[in-house]
Structure 1
Amino acid sequence: MTENLRGALFMMGSMATFTLNDACIKWLAEGLPTFQVVVLRGLAATALIALLAHLTGALSRPIPAADRAEVAGRSVAEVAAFLPFVLALTHMPLANITAILQALPLTITAAGALLLGERVGWRRWTAIGVGLAGVLLIVRPGAEGFNAWSLLAVLSVIIITARDLITRRLSPEVPSLKVAIFTAGGVTGLGAIVSLGEPWQPVTPGQGALMLLAAGFVFGGYLFSILAMRHGEVAVVTPFRYTAIIWGLLLGVTVFGERPDALTLTGATLVAATGLYTLWRETRAPVPRPVAPR
């Protein structure tokens, strides 16, 4: 298995688990304050990551001195991207903010080419563009929904791009589980501050079970997203962010009873075709690159 294929699988796993987490949060938010859910889920996820890090020995492995600034910068970027995203989400249509966030494969690939010197051929640029077209067919943002709040969504895209570039700069000696602990802890801390303005409510056993499930999903999302950016080339790995749209459609149909129309199905087909084409090209790679221990 090549590093590119490994990174693509990690990215698909990240998008799947983050989308499943979003579905759990959507259910829980119908009966509980949103940031109460974020805090309780975050505490559980942080505990799960710390336990696994302890069992695997990652918790006792120190972060090399040369990487500490990058690890701190990545954690700050994760928290910094969360707040403008939430503010934009509450002031603009979901389709519009989704469309803005789908610029990430383009921005991350361009930044990787400009700042990290990674080669990006016309086939990879075409695959990214076709995937973006498929996403826009699905979400179909309206022009009237783009307003001043859209700038916050754009800011979130810029910060996430910086976060992912920082992740790629981490040396192989940095344990990914330890980075995930800082990520989960930082977002949970910000959620706790914001939740001070919300009255908390009692949690039923069913809600508690669903919250633990969400914690498991977000744990997978954090870890897989870190591993995805530490394997393979940016231009190959980042287009698989579009698979989150496919998972969203599947959950919408199977869980929330939604029925996609012809344009939505066309867009989903484009996204799926982009991913399959990229995977096909990677399976034809002649020699797998060695995997550094992480």
Structure 2
Amino acid sequence: MSGVLPREDRTAAGILAMLLAVVFFTCIDTSAKWLSLAGLPVMQIVFARYVGHLVYATALYVPQEGWSAFRSNAPLKQFLRSLFLFSSTTLNFLALKHLPITVTTTIAFAGPIVITVLAIPILNERVGLRRFLAVCAGFLGILVVVQPWGAEFHPAMFFSLGTLFLASMYFIMTRMLAGVERNATQQVWSSALATVVLAPFAARVWIWPESAGQWAVLCAIGAFGAIGHIFATIAHRWADASILAPMIYGQIFLATIAGIFVFGTWPTVWTLCGGMIIIGSGLYIWQRERQASRC
């Protein structure tokens, strides 16, 4: 297919690109929480994130590939993929309004575990006993973080759990579209659909930023989204997904730093313990997938 770049064996560069993507993903969450605390409506923040992404993606890909970048080979699947992405972003930003960034990030780390579960009925993948036990351990880690039985529980955690499910469905759809769609099409579709759908909702609640700082962050959040996803796309062209998967766990350290220095919040013991369980189970699943791929 025209516009599809071949894979390259550049593992070290791919890992670096994925780490840069993780940095920008953390910037998205940090910016969203900061803008929300500043009083801007969540729907306006989500709209700004995607309209900015659309502007940058269009400016990058249209000069290279023309308007064919908007032409999808699987429009229904691309629509669902885009729907899952911006829906997960909306719930994530709602959660960030009430929860520490370390909590939402830690819950999101269960994504590989949820994807493993969803891949059974959707992608007809088989999961052995040991991987199933690792999945169970991962969900135990989620319970430790969420604490539905304790005083630390906040109803906004349901938004974060919804984010986890929808984001996992987004990656399931991404797997289904692998080798079918160009990177340019996936970038512009996901941002364009969100922009069109969210525009009327954002217009109803729009509040003009009161300071240059708010304007700067509102404009930057779209750039963070576009650059982060572009780096992630490049990374997966340069290195195997199984090698890149653990890089996302570096976000817990970045989220902790952002929480301390930007918002003055420290991770709780429950968040740290649950995060260790989730990361441990995720790394085990990653290792099992690596071994299976070599057989």
TM-score (norm 2): 0.67
2:54 aligned with 1:38, yes or no?
A: no
By how many angstroms is 1:19 displaced?
Answer: 2.7
Q: 1:184 aligns with which of 179, 191, 194?
A: 191
Correspondence for 2:267: 260
* 1:267–1:87 CA distance, 2 compared to 1 (3 A): closer
* Aligned equivalents of 2:177, 2:12: Cα separation in 1: 20
* Aligned equivalents of 2:168, 2:275: Cα separation in 1: 24
CA RMSD of aligned residues (A): 4.8
Answer yes or no: is the 8 Å Cα contact 1:99–1:141 preserved in 2: no
2:18 aligned with 1:21, yes or no?
A: no
* 1:3–1:118 CA distance, 2 compared to 1 (3 A): farther
2:58 aligned with 1:50, yes or no?
A: yes
* 1:55–1:132 CA distance, 2 compared to 1 (3 A): farther
| Correspondence list, 1:85-234, <5 A | 85=91, 89=95, 104-142=111-149, 150=158, 159-202=166-209, 204-223=211-230
Unaligned runs of 5+ in 1: 289-294
1:118-153 residue CA offsets vs partner (Å, 9 max, x unmatched): 243344444444444445434434468687995x77
SS in 1 for 2:37: coil
By how many angstroms is 1:23 displaced?
Answer: 0.6
By how many angstroms is 1:254 displaced?
Answer: 3.8
* Aligned equivalents of 1:80, 1:254: Cα separation in 2: 29
* Aligned equivalents of 2:240, 2:62: Cα separation in 1: 27
Q: 1:248 aligns with which of 247, 255, 265?
A: 255
SS in 2 for 1:164: helix
Correspondence for 1:291: none
TM-score (norm 1): 0.67
By how many angstroms is 1:80 displaced?
Answer: 4.7
Unaligned runs of 5+ in 2: 1-7
